Structures are given as C-alpha cells and as structure tokens.
Amino acid sequence: MKNRIIVISIVGIILLGTFNILSKNNSKIEVNSKVIKEISSLVYTKEEREIGIDRLTTLLEDKKYLSKRNKVELISKLGLLYSMNGEYHEAIEHFIESINLSMKYDDNYRMAKDLMNMAHIFVNLDGYKTAERTIKYALNLDIEDEEEKRVINEYGYINLADIYSRIDETDKSLEYIEKSIKYGTSHKANTIARKIIEARSYFYKGEITKADEILSEINIDKDIDDYVLIDTYIPYLAVRTKIEFAKGNEGKAFELSEKLFDICDKEGQIDIKLSNMKYLLNYLESPDYKYDDEIITHYRQELIDLYNEISPEKNEESVFYIINSIWDRMHYLESLETKAMMYIGAGFMTLILILVFYILISRLKNSINKSRVDALTNIYNRMFFDLTYNKYLKKGIGFGLIIIDIDFFKSINDTYGHAFGDIVLKNVAKVIKNRLSKDDIIFRYGGEEFCILSENKGLQEVIDLSELIREEVERMVWRENIKVTISLGISYTGESDDMFKQADSNLYKSKNSGRNRVTY
C-alpha cells in the first residue's frame, strides 16, 4: 500500500511538471506569435527592417518555441524584409523554404503570397514574363477560404497590372486594374498602387494629361506618409518625374529625380535607382534636350558607379549561391510523407529553380547589355564608348577613331518632326553598323553624333571605311524624299596627344567646308 502511494505521488509530480513545462512552452509560443506580429510592422525604413531581420532571425534559432504556422510565417516575413532591402538572394532562399513548409502543411494561401512576393523580385530584376507566369501559377492555387482567395486575387491582379504597365501592354494593364477592383480593397495602399499603375499606363500610352490627372488624385503629403516608401512613394516619384519631364518642367523633374535617388540610396533600392537613372540619361541625351555636358557627365558617372556596385561578379556569385541553396532545400522534400506529395513538390520546386536560375542569369546579361546599349538605336552608348576608348588607350594598341555627325539634323527634326528624326537616327545607325567588321565598334555618342573605334586597321583603311560609310548614307532613300548626309572626322593613334579632340576638330573642318565629307 505504501509503495502504491509513493508511485502515485511520483506520477503526480511528473504530470504536474509536464503540465508546467507545457504551460510555459505554450506561453512562450504565444509570446513569440505576438512578437512576430509586432516585428512584422517594422517595415517603413531600411533601419527598421534590419532590426526586424535581427529579431526574427533570433526567434527562428529558438525553434522549439515556434508553432508550425508561426515558423512558416516567420520565414516568409524574413523573405519579405530581405526583399524590401534589395537583398534578393537572401529573400528568395527564405521564400523557397517558406513555400516548402506551406506545401507540407497544405497552406496554399501562404504559398500564393510567397510566390507573388518572389514575382515582385523578378519584376525588379526586369524578368517580367517570369513574374507573370509566377503570379498566374499562384492565382490558380486552390484556396478554400473566401476572404483569403479574395485577397490573393486582388493582390495578384494589381501585380499583373503593374507588370503590363512596365512592358508597354497598357490596355492589358488597365484591364487588370478593373479586375482587381472587383475584389474590393484590403488596404488603402492598394488604392494608391492602382492609381500609380494607372497613371504609368496612360503615360506610356502618350496620354500625359490623363496620367497627370490620375496621379494628382493621390494626396502625396497625407496618403504616402503612412505607407512603406518602396511600395508607394518610390513608384509615385518615378512616374511623377517622367510626367514632369514630358510636360517640360525640367527643374521640377530634376528636383524629383534627386529626391527619388536619395530615397533609393537610403532604402537600398539600387535596381530601381538604376532603372530611373537610365531613363533620365536617355532624356538628357535626346536631340530635344539642350544638355549641359557637366550634368550629363555627372549622371553618367553615377550610372557607372551603380553598375560597379552591382558588378557581374557579384551577380554571378549570387546566382550560384542561390542555386546551391535551393538544391539543398530540395533535399527536404525527401522527408515528405507520401511519394505523391514528393513528386508534386519536387516538380514544383524544379519549376521554381528553373525560374530563379533563368531570371538571375537573364538579369546578369540584361544588366550588362542595358548599361552599354542606346535604347533608340540599339547600338552601344556614350558611357560604353568612354570605357572602351580609355581601355584602348591604356592597352597602347593602334586604332582609329571616327566621329560622325548627321548634317542639318536639327532642320530635319524641325521640318518633319521628332518621330521622323528618330527614324533617321535608327536607320543611319543600322546602315553604318552593317558596314563594320568584327574589329570595328559603333557607338551613339549623343544626339545625332556617332563614334567608331576601329582596331587592327591602318590609317588608310580607316579613311576608306569612312568614305564607304559616307557614300552608303548618301545613297539612302527616304519616304519624305529628302537627302540625308553625314560629315566625318578621323584621328589615328600617334597623330595627337588627344585623339578625341583631333577627330572632333577634323569633324568641325568637314562641316565648315561644305559637309558630306571626310577629314583626316
């Protein structure tokens, strides 16, 4: 009897201890759940997001006090914070892990949100088609809860509208804005996002006044302050800057550009700054703008510095880092309970792997190409000329420099319009490019000026090439029945301490002695 009492007492103590441990654990889980929600609100500035990342990472390390749902939410929130800070390799790794866990726990709502957040990264990396496919995949996921399905549909259609507004499918963008409205509004930020996307769409349709009216509906001081800068204020400034340039308000446009670039610097949004700086430079280098060389040089140097900051080596390193991380995560699928789920999961993860690999490699190539190529003529730009020209000088190789100017181009623009002027620029560039060998490189230097760097040729060969190009352009036929000619100036290694100055001086002589000629 005595032994029985002792056994019962021991069992009671164990049960009481177990209850206390469970109570403490449940209490910690509840506290952690509140902390996750509290930290999730730390998104307004980069500094706040970095604090949030540190605290969430600490919570994640203490896994035993996280419920399954909290763990998935925490990993997903980390992905979002990294994404908002422009740390895409970290963001994608966390989204992939969150998607894995969401599949295991049959949480299609969380999976859809993570897929759309990944799509947002793809958009920032110029991977619009990949982003579109990812969002459409998310929209097709089976979500039983009606409110969750409504939220995903609204968010998905807004994001699709955003993509289409950026790739000149403006009618499609406006169509998806209307579709998103049918699902109501979860947040005032969505209303602001719709207006920004709608304004961008009308801007690219050429309806500047309409775009201006829509964007002016946003009370910038009242509406923007309460929301995340990168979700609202940065896109707003990007569209507003373009509109002000189009309206001819250059002072205001420059002021807004600097404000945009400053916020991008503070928020770590290098890709967004890069995209908008390229737009600004294209505007400054257009024939319409009487540019100041100091301004051009300033922004061109900033652009070069930005590309150095996200150098190909860094991008390539990120590609392999992410790919290896994802492959490691895919081993997790082996622990899923059924083969069917494993096959579904592995197939889905392979799709994601391919998407990520494709977009990052594409981004690597696109970043390099876009930094070098003039948007209008599709030949190399002035920034890449400066880099190549200086490289040739440092190598000490023999080469020729040809500077070309389209004769009376301003008169062509004034008489026939800027649209025809653009056609002249594109077709002259095409004719010149078709006459070059693999040792020759053509660049658009600015406005109606082009440069050619010619390697592995003697001076006479460079002169012959220049004459051939001049004759080809003179023979071109135009629908306006006009004659387009070019003037050319040449310099060659060893002829002058400043080859560019010499070629430019020879171009000046060609123009002053009747145009449509070559001077060397």
Q: Which residues are catalytic?
A: 448
> Residue 446: CB partners within 8 Å, gap ≥ 6?
285, 291, 296, 382
What is the DSSP annotation of 424-483?
HHHHHHHHHHHT--TTEEEEEEETTEEEEEEES--HHHHHHHHHHHHHHHHT---TT---
For helices 208-216 and 234-246, the axis angle rounded to 10 degrees is 140
Angle at 319 between CA 277 and CA 128, to 5 degrees: 50
Number of neighbours of residue 430 by Cβ within 10 angstroms: 14
Distances (CA, A) of 23 to 63, 305, 439, 468, 485: 17, 56, 77, 88, 87
Cα gap 371→501, rounded to integer Å: 25
Cα gap 380→197, rounded to integer Å: 31
Dihedrals phi, psi of 362, to nearest 5 degrees: -60, -40
Distances (CA, A) of 283 to 168, 210, 265, 289: 18, 21, 22, 7
CB 364 within 8 A of CB 315: yes
Number of neighbours of residue 19 by Cβ within 10 angstroms: 10
Q: Kindly give the pairing relationship between strand 440-446 and strand 486-492.
A: unpaired
Q: Kindly give the pairing relationship between strand 486-492 and strand 518-519.
A: parallel
Cα gap 63→75, rounded to integer Å: 12
DSSP H helical ranges for 332-451: 339-372, 382-395, 409-416, 418-434
The H or E element spanning position 73 is helix 68-84
Cα gap 442→48, rounded to integer Å: 47
Q: Long-range contacts of range 5-13, CB-CB < 8 Å, 24 or more positions apart? A: none
Cα gap 221→242, rounded to integer Å: 20
Cα gap 35→52, rounded to integer Å: 10
Q: How much helix, strand and coil, in percent to the nearest 5, is found in the chain?
A: 75, 5, 20
